[in-house]
Chains A and B, each alone.
Chain A
Amino acid sequence: MTSVTVGVLALQGDFREHAAALERLGAAVRLVRTPDDLAEVDALVIPGGESTAIGKLADWHGLVGPLRERIDAGLPALGTCAGMIFLASSTVEGTGQVQLGVLDVMVRRNAFGRQVDSFEAEIPVVGLEDPVHGVFIRAPWIEKVGAGVEILAELEGRPVMVRQDSIIATSFHPELTADGRLHTLLLDMIREG
């Protein structure tokens, strides 16, 4: 494919694992820490991490507005775990944490429990032949979805992967496995324009 640059939001979290996954697929990666970095990218990954810390850092450093504008304007985006919470419009807890609100879902943080409840499970995904190996770490689930949101995977009746236009979000961490299929979906969205 022609060279594309995928941004990985690098305020905090496992951004290096996402960068490595994208590089294995032949994409150029730019770590995004400032609005200038963001201007240079053709797609964006928001990694796993702590959503409160990522939200605060984005807010303090003037990234919330530019992130909203670019994603609303169609920048393909993939958010995993904390990234899903950051993309979402609200949380059940409603504690006033900073969120982009570009993905029309309500999430429940730490919905599957604390760290001792963290787990791995095989997750069938709509459109993929074989299940994805899901690594769930203090993972959120999606409590409610808006009209334009397609549910791509569920666990125990709870959505754990969704798509809305060119935004994909997961409760789990594909970047912690060698499976590049979800990152490929992101790269496909760039090509589809």
Chain B
Amino acid sequence: MDQGTERVKRGLAEMLKGGVIMDVTNAEQAKIAEEAGAVAVMALERVPADIRRDGGVARMADPTRVEEIIATVSVPVMAKARIGHFVEAQVLESLGVDYIDESEVLTPADEAYHIDKWRFKVPFVCGARNLGEALRRIGEGAAMIRTKGEPGTGNIVEAVRHMRTMNDGIRRLQILDQEQLMSEARDLGAPFDLVREIAETGQLPVVNFAAGGIATPSDAALMMQLGCDGVFVGSGVFKSGDPEQRARAIVEAVTYFEDPQMIAKVSRGLGEAMVGIEIDKLADDERMQERGW
């Protein structure tokens, strides 16, 4: 019996496809998310919009909170660790979380290195803005990728940019000749074996979700039509006027992402969406997506 294999790590992400993973800060929110049809919940101390507002160092959630969430829901529980903070990851693994998000939403612990994710039995998801970044994370052992987007803004523009950039990168590999792939790997800063694999298959070897700025059912369906496998919603649910209804509507929009009438139906009467932020209004040091490399 083999545990912690690449197949079971990547396999759990396969099971989450076509679903919505929601940020929660306590057991009560986790229950609301599960009732709304979330396929998993992401435990963290503060949602990105609050981290943005309050500032300070953002860290892994309190273990008691994580355990309460695990005890409350039957869906998988993910939790965020700081970039490079392998001890937070060890702690989260010991608590029994099902996936660790090595996340730029938290304050990085290491400005040069990400966690060596091969050393863990628990799988990791990591953010990426482009193909090179995604392949570096997969090379380090990530079993799932998500766009970074710009968390806590309620603005979808960066997630769209990152998804399109990744798609472009994959398409480009498919038209290059064999002898061009090594130079391309150098330019991408990506492991050559993965570059060669994607040139052949035309897809990432792991599941790729959208994250960072999803606030409405249409946002979620947009990311699905752009080719994502599912979506993360951070501040978009619990910073809105009616979290229960909005959460369910986003879940339905992800299942029926190709059906505009259904998206219209679930989008009615949801109340206030979270207040959005224009990306241009963010100072450079407020852009979470620049964290990690």
Contacts and interface: CB of A to CB of B under 8 A. Distances in A.
Co-assembled chains A and B: yes
A121 interface: yes
Interface string B1-44: 11111011001101111110000000000000010011110000
Given A13-B18, A50-B15, A109-B74, A118 B8 contact: yes
B76 interface: yes
Question: Which of A52, A115, A117, A121 has its CB near the most chain B CB atoms (within 10 A)?
Answer: A115
Interface in A45-61: 48-50, 52-53, 56-57, 60
B219 interface: no
Contacts of B122: 115-116
B39 A12 contact: yes
A42 interface: no
A53 B39 contact: yes
Interface string A74-96: 00000001100000000001010
A179 B19 CA distance: 26
Given A12-B255, A33-B256, A56-B37, A49 B8 contact: no
Contact of B18 (A15, A117, A118, A120): A15
B22 to A, nearest CB: 11
B14 A115 contact: no
A135 B37 contact: no
B37 A52 contact: yes
B18 A11 contact: yes
A149 B123 CA distance: 36
B8 A137 contact: yes
Interface string B88-106: 0000010011110000000
Contacts of B123: 115
Interface residues of A, number: 37
A16 interface: yes
A131 to B, nearest CB: 13
Contacts of B4: 116, 118
A118 B252 contact: no
Nearest to B96: A114
B39 A49 contact: yes
Nearest to A59: B37
A48 B3 contact: no
A110 interface: yes
Measured as residues with beta carbon below 8 angstroms from the partner, the interface class of chain B is 35 or more
A176 interface: yes
A135 B7 contact: yes
B37 A176 contact: no
Contacts of A120: 1-2, 5, 7-8
B11 to A, nearest CB: 5
B59 interface: no
B251 interface: yes
A176 B7 contact: yes
B12 A116 contact: no
A153 B83 CA distance: 43
B19 A138 contact: no
A17 interface: yes
Given A12-B19, A137-B15, A93 B74 contact: yes
B52 interface: no
A119 B8 contact: yes
A135 B16 CA distance: 16
Nearest to A48: B15
A49 B15 contact: yes
A114 B3 CA distance: 11
Nearest to A15: B18
B279 interface: no
A12 B2 CA distance: 27
B157 interface: no
B61 interface: no
B7 A13 contact: no
Given A115-B8, A135-B7, 20 more contacts: A11-B18, A12-B254, A13-B15, A33-B255, A49-B15, A50-B40, A50-B75, A52-B74, A57-B251, A57-B252, A82-B15, A93-B74, A116-B121, A118-B12, A119-B5, A121-B2, A136-B8, A137-B8, A138-B12, A176-B14
